[in-house]
A and B are shown apart, each in its own frame.
Chain A
Amino acid sequence: MKKDLLGIDDLSKDDIYRLLETAEAMREIGERPIKKVPTLRGKTVVNLFYEPSTRTRTSFEIAEKRLSADTLNIAVQSSSVLKGETLADTAMNIEAMSPDMIVLRHASSGACHLLSRICRSRIINAGDGMHEHPTQALLDAFTIRQHKKTIEGLKVVIIGDLLHSRVLRSNVLLLTKLGADVWVSGPPTLVPRGIEQLGVRVTTSVEDAVADADVIMMLRIQQERMQGAYFPSLREYFNLFGMTVERIARAKPDVIIMHPGPMNRGVEIASEVADGPYSVILEQVANGVAVRMAVLYLLAGGVEDEAAA
């Protein structure tokens, strides 16, 4: 396993299985009265978030604290960025304080790669632009395995704003690596060029997509990322691609509905579905902590010259 987790691309199939199995063990810690183990005691983890995020940041923070690490949250909306400090300078300043790991979320694809070239600390990608969100894909895979035992051969459908979604890219990479039959669906304006080369089936018919699906994953419509003319209105989007009770009926009877959150109710997913019996959305959140604990644990090991290598 590499020093950093910049994307699912960095992980082999074995690495992924090892992560998921470790997450299984980590989950149990959350069920104890004292939800702490001393494993990362004395290690410093910096959560450097350039984009607002409650869910992912608190998930990482809880994971770090459960492993007894010292955590430092830096939310860079204000202060240094407005003063014009570059990512490189911010990183070097943080690095000067010798953190063991930096968890970075940033609006630019490739920001984590830049950071990993600058810093000796281990870098964990908590979402970089439109590129990857590896811990999300890992917790999605973990959640699927809780319900389906194995990912190989499952029909997994991902629906929504494919173009701007890092969750899509990470999930496609991971699920195809583990042998799932991955379908993606969305309006043609939001399909990334060449995506079928990643081994997925592309369709603009959501009915075809969900037929006999084992897993349906809805993506958020990224209103803050879109600058124009991808589809006429949210209403029309919901009519064509929204996940409704009627559409779910076409999937397998034991289908699970997933969403990385936060949800736009009535846009990509109907409330009845989000709150319905097939939804595992809240489990995803709970599993996020265990999965992130596993990532932190597996990345934390290693003596100094490993990191320099």
Chain B
Amino acid sequence: MPVVMDGDRMGRTLTRIAHEILERNRGIEELALVGIRRRGVPLAKRIATIIKDINHHEVPTGALDITLYRDDLMRHAVGHQPVVGRTDIPFSIDDRRILLVDDVLYTGRTIRAALDALIEFGRPKSIQLVVLVDRGHRELPIKADYVGKNLPTSLSQSVQVHLTETDGRDEVEIQE
């Protein structure tokens, strides 16, 4: 299984993204990070930590579960609905510049669901999208603002992101 990003590379990529965020967003006090469960959450936290290291500012960070907003929900067997995780956004998103964070951008449906979910929480000033990997094959008009790595893939492949917080190691690999 080819590893396309190792832990070291991942760290530097996230650092670069953090710098880009700071570069493009003038008012840092308005920023907030919202990670999409599951792996978007640790990624968001890491970015928050890096930003804090850079300019000693704590960007509020939250976790968003989008299961109940998925468009493919009623197609599973009874009782085998996808597990719903807890959404935890302990700050108001009104007038904030939200940075949505996810591990892999693929069809765009997850982001669509996340946008629907987020809007229920208030009216942000803007929403930008941060992804570690963009593997193409969009089915909706969704574009990432910050991309860790562009990874052209075929439909038969799958991209697995492993993070220390959830899987014990930092690595991105492609599986057939």
Contact = CB atoms under 8 A, between A and B. Distances in A.
Interface of A: 1-3, 15, 18, 21-22, 24-26, 28-29, 32-34, 36-39, 43, 67, 122, 294, 297-303, 306-307
Given A25-B87, A26-B84, A33-B120, 18 more contacts: A1-B78, A1-B79, A2-B79, A22-B84, A25-B84, A28-B88, A34-B120, A37-B117, A37-B120, A38-B68, A38-B69, A122-B78, A297-B81, A297-B84, A299-B78, A302-B74, A303-B74, A306-B77
B120 A36 contact: yes
A122 B121 CA distance: 32
B68 A306 contact: no
Question: Considering residues B67, B68, B77, which has the most beta carbons from chain A within 10 angstroms of its beta carbon?
Answer: B68
B56 interface: no
Contacts of B122: 33
Contacts of B88: 28
Interface majority SS (helix, strand, loop, mixed), chain B: loop
A28 B122 CA distance: 15
Question: Considering residues A15, A21, A301, which has the most beta carbons from chain B within 10 angstroms of its beta carbon?
Answer: A301
B80 A25 contact: no
Query: What 10 pairs between A and B have smallest CB-CB spacing?
Result: A1-B79, A302-B78, A25-B84, A37-B68, A39-B68, A34-B120, A301-B81, A301-B76, A25-B86, A22-B84
21 contacts: A1-B78, A1-B79, A15-B79, A18-B83, A26-B84, A28-B86, A29-B87, A32-B120, A32-B121, A33-B122, A37-B69, A37-B120, A39-B68, A297-B81, A298-B78, A299-B79, A300-B74, A301-B78, A302-B76, A302-B78, A306-B78
Interface of B: 65, 67-69, 73-81, 83-88, 116-117, 120-122
Question: Considering residues B76, B79, B85, which has the most beta carbons from chain A within 10 angstroms of its beta carbon?
Answer: B79
Contacts of A122: 78
A305 B110 CA distance: 27
B86 A24 contact: yes
B68 A301 contact: no
A251 to B, nearest CB: 31
Contacts of B77: 301-302, 306
Contacts, number: 76
A34 B78 contact: no
A43 B68 CA distance: 14
Contacts of B120: 32-34, 36-37
Contacts of B85: 25
Contacts of B86: 24-25, 28
Nearest to B80: A301
A300 B81 CA distance: 9
Contact of B74 (A18, A22, A301): A301
Nearest to A39: B68
Nearest to A22: B84
A46 to B, nearest CB: 18
A289 to B, nearest CB: 15
A297 B68 contact: yes
A25 B81 CA distance: 14
Question: Considering residues A2, A15, A25, which has the most beta carbons from chain B within 10 angstroms of its beta carbon?
Answer: A25
Contacts of B80: 1, 301
A28 B121 CA distance: 12
A163 B62 CA distance: 49
A286 to B, nearest CB: 17
A132 to B, nearest CB: 18
A38 B120 CA distance: 11
Contacts of A24: 86
Nearest to A299: B78
Contacts of A67: 68
Contact of B121 (A3, A26, A34): A34
